[in-house]
Structure 1
Amino acid sequence: MKFKAAGLVLGLALFLAVLFIPTPASFMTAAAQALGTPPPATTISAAQLAGSMQAVLAVLALMVVWWLTEAVPLPATALLPAVLLPLLKVTGLQGHAVYEFSPKNALQNYANPVIYLFLGGFLIAGAMQKWKLDRRFTLWFLTRGNVAGRAGSILFGMMAVTALLSMWISNTAAAALMLPLGIGVLSLVDAQPGNSRFGTALMLGIAWAASIGGVGTIIGTPPNGIALGVLNATFAHDPSYQRITFLDWMKFGVPLVLLLLPIAWAVLMRLHPPEIGRLPGGKARLQAERVALGPLSRGEKGTIAIFALAVILWVTNPFWPALLPDAALQRIAWVDEYLIGLVCGTLLFFIPVSLREGRFLLDWSDTRFVDWGTLILFGGGIALSDAMFKTGLAAWIATSFVALLGTPSTIVLTFAVVCFIAMLTEVTSNTAVTTMMVPVVVSIALRTGANPVTVAVATAISASMAFMLPVATPPNALVFGTGYVRLRDMVRSGLVLDALGCVVTMFIIFVVASRLLGVLSL
């Protein structure tokens, strides 16, 4: 509590200090360079632009401190750009035109299409949770073959299911769903909290798999969407910018999951070898739970149909120009993955399960499954990034970085970013880390000649490499709370996987995504 109070005071003090100090000469120089020589016929002077840079830096300092200390809830901090940018009369440049951060202009960042892609994903995931479809799938998978026969195989099976679920529902929801099943398995072998290597491995496996699986799709975890939102907003007027589609992300996200998940399993089996071989009655218990669910309900069938429709449309969307006739293509030319997610999520409210009872696949009360705070975080991050780029603050930060450290190549810069973000995300929210860092690394990449898209994607992926501390992610905190995982075990095992995760991230980005698939550029 004292830490949060200190963060509250420190954030406000930094905000006021940065806001009211004399404008640095480097800001005036950067503003003059942004306006050009001679300056265009605009209604903004170098002094005004430098003042706006200073105001945005003050807002950035306040938000960073409050995000790192969680002095106030993260989504509440994310609302600050909508309030402070208009109040401080922040003004920037869009091309050579003056851009004022009026309430309308500041708030439009909170309606970025990426936010509605995640809203659609949250609604689909909510329907899966409402109708227990996620639990049915989990039990079905774990009762296949000999998955539930041996300790090692059930560990891998639980991790695989958690990762697969986490690609489509939130990491926290996936871990929360799997946790009771994992504890039930441990009860079969009388594994005691704090005294079972199998218990430690199984709990850590669930938490790790939830984080790893989130990398697989754009909607798997918020950092993915934040990175894309910042990129799309930053390069909205750049004709050479090629937007990463849902399928593009899966081309490197899924291989990363397929590679890192077995590595995580091997680390657990090596550091925490199960003290048991076979699980007595493990498969029978899981089968009994599956039978108790009964046949597929109408709600489950409808949810499966909408989920399948969304996935098919997301995956095939890039191929529509080659598959559809020109007449049909012209009618749906404006349909992209963002609209697909929103349409499929909205349909859930209109497909009836029982007209007599007035029940639908989703009712408005079911929107409790939607992580509204994360959606606000998206908007706040994009608004802050927009202000940093349009005022020239991001360019100033990048210039300062280059003056100190030179101009590293894309590979060197990406490796430094991956390692730094992986460490930083251990002690603060991965969503907040991505929101703070993506605008900075994109600007540094532009200044050094590195590929900004590659560096931004690396930032998002490495934000999910948080395996070492309970505070790093909600899944880590959940499994730590069971008592089966001691802190030293989580730190020791997580440190190993953090290092391996950084190596795998670099391999996926520079070998798979860049050289083999051509999704990202060096």
Structure 2
Amino acid sequence: MRTAGGVAGAVLVLAGGLLWDIPGLEPAGERMLGIFLAAIILWASEAIPLVATSMGILLAEVLLISSDGLFDVADDVGAVPAADYLAALASPVVVLFIGGFMIAAGATKFDVGRVLSSAILRPLGGRPRPTLLGVMAVTATLGMFMSNTATTATMFAIMLPAITALEDARSRTAMALAIPVAASVGGMMTPVGTPPNAIAIGILADQGIRVTFLDWVLLSLPVAVLLILVAWAFLAWRYLDTSSPLALDADARLDTSRPAVTFYAIAGLAILGWLTEPLHGLSSSTVSLAAVVALLALRVMDGEDVKRLDWPVLWLVAGGIALGRGVGDTGLDSWLIGAVPWGGIPAALVLLAVAAISWGVSNFVSSTAAANLLVPMSIGISISVANSTAEVAVVMALACSLGMCLPVSTPPNAIAHATGLVPTRDMVRIGLLVGGLGVLLLSVAAPLLWSWLGLT
């Protein structure tokens, strides 16, 4: 029933976009509104796979609003070739993600997560509070370069035996909750950490605004670190039994085979290249492509590794970039934003509103879908309130990563809930704390810091 209803609703609004005559909106914008509303319905209902919706956006834009499609758009806003929309599949942001995914796949292949965990946790001797913080630090570090889903799965594979061995049920909950929270927050810290970041960077790039890898790290790092520390303090205070040490298996050894050492060198150089982009002038996507070529040419990775990359996520990112391009090209963004009297709202409250909306939506749909739908609006909002476009887009993208109140909010939460160690009520508590504090930081404190540092 849900599938049929979602598809029927999407078809209805798409047809409406072809038939509606909306004052102030060009015909191409009317058709784009139908595409936009159909995407909302399909992403929210998951009536068809999320990636199918993303590819459907591309197809609909080519057919309905491009100059090569079914309609004569020569006199319409948005008369651009179909190739401009299809180019989203090879966007520099998608190339950047391919490099990040290859490095993440290599980290899994050579068991980097287990080695990193062993190196950090061994000196802590299983003491509950330092170990909890150590687990969160390892998880967040992996989440900076691996998908939060893969990071969570890896950390549970490493830590679950020690967690289940704890006698105190609340301590088990604390350790199990720490992993998805740190994975989601860690993903906020780099462009390759999670798709919403890439979507924002891609949409800003279409506006001629370049956000480098290092820029993103500087923008997000203070907020993410503070959220992890607050989450750790809350979990340690409310749940952790400090008298029960963890029995950790911290004996993992670094793989010193030739392929592994070669991978470490290439991954290290790629990360260094991403962080030093302002010095050498090569874009992050170029650095990523070079890393992919090196890993394949030196036979560290092969075709089978490429097949296992998370291609659906890459297509989701491409769909989001194409959606943003279509919304902007057809004037739909200006029309939608014009319906709200943003000019009469103080800039700080605008940021609070967009952050809260992004967080709220991402608790019920995937963070990628939320970013795909909301971040394109950042351009029009920033123009209406005379805010920095980069500031609004970054706030919305980062807020989309904070949706973690429910088991269905994000895959890391689903993985944690599936262990049976995390009651939903406890997930809601930590989700409200981290998400609510994150919204306040992103809308009030972070913009002041960004402005002082000259980042927005």
TM-score normalised to structure 1 length = 0.82
Tell me the alpha carbon deviations over residues 96-150 of structure 1, each in whole angstroms, 9 at most, x when there is no partner: 997534432321122211110111111111111112122211222211x22x421
Is 1:275 the counterpart of 2:276? The answer is no
Match of 2:344 among 407, 415, 419: 407
SS of the residue 2:408 aligns to: coil
Look up the match of 1:137.
Answer: 116
Task: Describe the SS at the equivalent of 1:439.
Answer: helix
Secondary structure of the residue aligned to 1:24 is coil
Contact 2:114–2:158 under 8 Å retained in 1: no
User: 1:469 corresponds to which residue?
Assistant: 406
Match of 2:43 in 1: 67
CA distance in 2, matches of 1:199, 1:502: 28
SS at match of 2:446: helix
Q: Deviations over 1:233-291 (max 9, x none)?
A: 1x13xxxx4x111111111222222211110101212332x2352426x24x323xx1x
Letter of the aligned partner of 1:187 in structure 2?
A: T
Q: Partner residue of 2:137? A: 160
Partner SS for 1:219: coil
* Partner in structure 2 of residue 454 of structure 1: 391
Deviations along 1:46-83, one digit per CA (max 9) or x if unpaired, are xxxx1111110011111110011111111111112321
| 1:179 CA drift (Å) | 0.6
Q: Is the 8 A contact 2:364 2:408 kept in 1?
A: yes
Separation (CA, whole Å) in 1 of partners of 2:76 and 2:11:
32
**Which amino acid is the alignment partner of residue 186 of structure 2?**
G
Cα pair 2:32 2:65 within 8 Å, conserved = no
Q: How much identity, in percent, do the aligned residues show?
A: 31
The reply to whether residue 76 of structure 1 matches residue 40 of structure 2 is no
Letter in 2 for 1:210: A
8 Å CA contact 1:11, 1:62 repeated in 2: yes
Q: Rate the CA distance shift 1:25–1:189 in 2: closer, same or farther, 3 A.
A: closer
CA 1:247–1:75 in structure 2 vs 1: closer, same or farther (change >3 Å)? same
Match of 1:345 in 2: 292
Question: Are the structure 2 counterparts of residues 505 and 127 from structure 1 closer, same or farther at C-alpha, using a change threshold of 3 Å?
Answer: same
Contact kept, 8 Å, 1:114 with 1:228, in 2: the verdict is: yes
Alignment partners' CA distance in 2, 1:382 and 1:170: 19
Per the alignment, in what secondary structure is the counterpart of residue 259 of structure 1?
helix
Query: How many angstroms apart in 1 are the aligned matches of 2:63 and 2:56?
Result: 10
> CA–CA distance in 1 between the matches of 2:328 and 2:255?
54
Which sections of structure 1, spanning at least 5 residues, go unmatched? 28-49, 321-332, 352-359
Equivalent AA in structure 2 for residue 475 of structure 1: P
- Which residues of 2 match residues 477-492 of structure 1 at below 5 A? 477-492=414-429
Partner of 1:20: 19
2:260 pairs with 1:300: yes
How is 1:80-99 mapped onto 2 (pairs within 5 angstroms)? 80-90=56-66
User: 2:57 & 2:359 partners in 1: Cα distance?
Assistant: 26
Structure 2 contact 402–435 (Cα < 8 Å) conserved: yes
CA distance in 2 between partners of 1:384 and 1:295 (Å): 43
2:120 is the alignment partner of 1:181: no
Distance in 1 (CA, whole Å) between partners of 2:170 and 2:57 is 47
Shift of 1:295: 4.8
CA distance in 2, matches of 1:389, 1:294: 49
Structure 1 residue aligned with 2:275:
315
Give the secondary-structure state (helix, strand or coil) at the position aligned to 2:138.
helix
Displacement, 1:90?
4.1
Kindly tell me: are residues 365 and 472 of structure 1, through their superposed partners in 2, closer, same or farther at Cα, counting changes over 3 Å?
A: same
Could you tell me which amino acid in structure 2 is paired with residue 279 of structure 1? Answer: P
Give the match for residue 228 of structure 2. 261
Alpha-carbon distance in structure 1 between the residues aligned to 2:212 and 2:439: 24
Q: Decide whether the 8 Å contact of 1:200 with 1:485 is kept in 2.
A: yes
Count of aligned positions: 452
CA drift of 1:172 comes to 0.6
- After superposition, where does 1:377-396 map in structure 2 within 5 Å? 377-396=316-335
Q: 1:424 pairs with 328, 344, 361, which one?
A: 361
Q: Give the distance between the partners of 1:409 and 1:361, measured in 2 at CA.
A: 53
Q: 1:89 to 1:460 in 2, by over 3 A?
A: closer
Instruction: Give the aligned residue type for 2:378.
Output: V
Aligned counterpart in structure 2 of residue 205 of structure 1, from 141, 163, 178:
178
**Maintained 8 Å contact 1:142/1:158:** yes
Structure 2 Cα separation of the partners of residues 141 and 508 of structure 1: 31
Residue 309 of structure 2 corresponds to residue 370 of structure 1: yes
Please, which moves more after superposition, 431-440 or 248-257? 248-257
Q: Residues 187, 387 of structure 1: CA spacing in aligned structure 2 closer, same or farther, 3 A cutoff?
A: closer
Q: Which amino acid aligns with 2:55?
A: L
Alignment-derived partner of residue 3 in structure 1: 2
Cα distance in structure 2, aligned partners of 1:181 and 1:378: 30
Structure 2 residue runs of 5 or longer lacking an equivalent are none
Q: Give the structure 1 partner of residue 195 of structure 2.
A: 222
Q: When the two structures are superposed, what TM-score results if normalisation uses the length of structure 2?
A: 0.94
Distance 1:499 1:99 in 2: 38
Structure 2: distance between partners of 1:480 and 1:497: 18
1:406, distance to aligned residue in structure 2 (A): 4.1
SS state of the match for residue 286, structure 1?
coil
**Native 8 Å contact 1:126 1:370 kept in 2:** yes
Q: For residues 323 and 118 of structure 2, what CA distance do their matches in structure 1 show?
A: 43
Cα distance in 1 between the residues matched to 2:407 and 2:269: 37
Q: 8 Å contact 1:422–1:498 — kept in the other structure? A: yes
Aligned partner letter, 1:132: D
In structure 2, C-alpha distance between the alignment counterparts of 1:97 and 1:338, rounded to whole Å: 33
